[in-house]
């Protein structure tokens, strides 16, 4: 039996990168998974992989910045999978720019996807979890939610908000046996990291070399970040809430 046998999971940004890797891992650990994303082609491919491996999964088309979509994603998870035990608030975007170079529209979009979405999904998921006797929420923050970074002001602000929002939610909902934690990944081999290189006008080779400048001398793999999510979502972390788990190859160590 897997660590999550019988659990029902909703993952935002589940069509690619860390979300995709986590969906596949949690399904292999026995969970039924709802993959929420705007990318229907990618999301359906993840679902099909899970089903082909003998698991249970559904795709939910969801704009995480819209309350109606978030409420629908939660309700479809409950209706089609039978409940909701774990919420992985993972959808995120990055804009590499200073305050001067960031437009108001870009600021609002980053804050909406990275912060507002967590508020909305949690708002609708927590009552379901409370009624069922508890649950686990994992939010994706970043190493740049704990320290500053150059030319990424909106991203740093949003991920700092996620870190402290996680703590506040853990305090508010611990009495309902709902644990709330966040992961802080370092640079990870995803399409978002490649998009950063393009935004900065850097070559992939130079950008990758800079990203790998950490004690383990490489960027992370999505599957490695997924293992951290599994820990926080499972009973292995039953006495862990309000925590920030850094998964960055030692990038913040010194």
**Catalytic hit among 59, 144, 155, 207:** 155
Q: Please, which pLDDT band fits residue 82 given cuts at 50, 70 and 90? A: very high
Residue 57 lies in a domain: yes
Question: Residues 16-41: what's their mean pLDDT?
Answer: 98
HEC string of the chain equals CCCCCCCEEEEECCCCHHHHHHHHHHHHCCCEEEEEECCHHHHHHHHHHHHHCCCCEEEEECCCCCHHHHHHHHHHHHHHHCCCCEEEECCCCCCCCCCCCCCHHHHHHHHHHHHHHHHHHHHHHHHHHHHHCCEEEEEECCHHHCCCCCCCHHHHHHHHHHHHHHHHHHHHHHHHCEEEEEEEECCECCHHHHHHHHHHCCCHHHHHHHHCCCCCCCCECHHHHHHHHHHHHCHHHCCCCCCEEEECCCCCCC
The candidate with the shortest Cα–Cα distance to 140, out of 165, 109, 108, is: 165
* Start-to-end CA span in the chain (Å): 40
Q: State the average pLDDT over residues 75-97.
A: 98
pLDDT tier, 225 (very low <50, low <70, confident <90, very high otherwise) = very high
Mean pLDDT of 82-96: 98
* CATH code where residue 162 lies: 3.40.50.720
Give the structural domain span for 44: 8-187+223-246
- Report yes or no on 3 lying in a domain: no
Q: Is the pLDDT of residue 108 over 80?
A: yes
**117-163 confidence digits (pLDDT tens):** 999 999 999 999 999 999 999 999 999 999 999 999 999 999 999 99
Q: Is 124 tagged catalytic?
A: no
Look at residue 145 and tell me if it is in a domain: yes
The answer to whether position 74 is within a domain reads yes
* Domain count across the chain: 1
Residue 216 has pLDDT above 80, yes or no: yes
Residue 7 has pLDDT above 80, yes or no: yes
pLDDT value at position 136?
A: 99
Which tokens is 159 given?
């991920």
Task: Answer whether 0.95 is exceeded by the pTM.
Answer: yes
Please give the pLDDT value at position 193. Answer: 85
Is residue 121 in a domain? yes
Q: Quick one: pLDDT at residue 105?
A: 98
Q: Two tokens at 25?
A: 């891992």
Distance CA 47, CA 49 (A): 5
How far apart (Å, rounded) are the C-alpha atoms in residues 90 and 138? 8
Residues 6+ apart with CB under 8 A from 156: 144, 145, 148, 149
Quickly state the pLDDT bin for 1 (edges 50, 70, 90): confident
Token pair 């992961």 in the structure block, residue = 183
pLDDT at residue 208 tops 90: no
Percent of the chain with pLDDT over 90: 93
**Model pLDDT, residue 197:** 83
d(CA 84, CA 127): 10
Residue 97 has pLDDT above 90, yes or no: yes
Asked if the structure places residue 199 within a domain, the reply is no
Residue 214 domain flag? no
**Does residue 198 belong to any structural domain of this protein?**
no
């Amino acid at each position: 039996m897997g660590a999550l046998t019988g659990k029902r999971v909703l993952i935002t940004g589940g069509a690619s990168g860390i979300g995709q890797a986590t969906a596949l891992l949690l399904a292999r650990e026995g969970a039924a998974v709802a993959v929420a994303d705007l990318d229907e082609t990618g999301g359906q491919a993840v679902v099909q992989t899970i089903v082909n491996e003998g698991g249970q999964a559904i795709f939910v088309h969801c704009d995480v910045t819209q309350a109606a979509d978030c409420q629908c994603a939660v309700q479809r998870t409950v209706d089609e999978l039978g409940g909701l035990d774990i919420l992985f608030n993972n959808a995120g975007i990055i804009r590499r720019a200073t305050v001067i170079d960031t437009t108001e529209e870009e600021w609002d979009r980053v804050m909406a996807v990275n912060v507002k979405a967590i508020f909305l999904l949690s708002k609708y998921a927590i009552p379901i979890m409370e009624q069922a006797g508890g649950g686990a929420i994992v939010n994706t923050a970043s190493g740049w939610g704990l320290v500053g970074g150059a030319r990424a002001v909106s991203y740093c602000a949003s991920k700092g908000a996620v870190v402290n929002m996680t703590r506040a939610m853990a305090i508010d909902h611990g009495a309902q046996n709902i644990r709330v934690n966040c992961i802080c990944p370092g640079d990870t081999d995803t399409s978002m990291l490649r998009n950063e290189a393009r935004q900065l006008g850097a070559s992939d080779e130079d950008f990758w070399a800079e990203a790998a400048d950490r004690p383990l001398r490489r960027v992370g793999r999505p599957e490695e970040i997924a293992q951290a999510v599994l820990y926080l979502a499972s009973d292995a972390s039953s006495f862990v809430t309000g925590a920030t788990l850094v998964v960055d190859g030692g990038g913040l160590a010194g």
